[in-house]
Amino acid sequence: MKKLGFVLAIAGGLAIGSYTAVHAKLPAPAAKSDAEKASEAEKAAATKAKDTELNAKAHDKAVANYKKGKGIAMDGKPAAAPAKADKK
């Protein structure tokens, strides 16, 4: 019975400790200077441009794959229809 009380006391202490750790208030982050803000905005713009370019490439590849699978010509002309055998 003593062991059970000890285990419950340890479990309760861990529960209370984890609760207080989760709900602890953290200090506010340091204020950013104008140079840091500008640098961060520049990096975000570069990342957005790169992502847009990669997305466009992936879109073009998907369209080409779709057209290839459907038999649609890529040069804007309709694909040649398969020749039909004459029935007589």
Average pLDDT for runs of 10 along the chain of length 88: 90 94 88 92 97 96 89 61 57
* Cα angle, residue 27 at apex, residues 26 and 30 outer, rounded to 5°: 135
**What pLDDT does 78 receive?**
55
* 42: its two tokens: 């520049």
What is the C-alpha separation between 4 and 15, in angstroms, rounded?
16
The confidence score (pLDDT) of residue 88 equals: 53
The number of angstroms, rounded, from the C-alpha of 50 to the middle of its chain's C-alpha atoms is 14
Q: Extract the tokens encoding 29.
A: 């982050």
Angle subtended at Cα 62 by Cα 56 and Cα 63, rounded to the nearest 5 degrees: 90
Calculate the CA 67 to chain-centre distance. Answer: 27
Quote the pTM value. 0.46
- Cα 10 from Cα 17, distance rounded (Å): 10
Residue 67: predicted pLDDT? 87
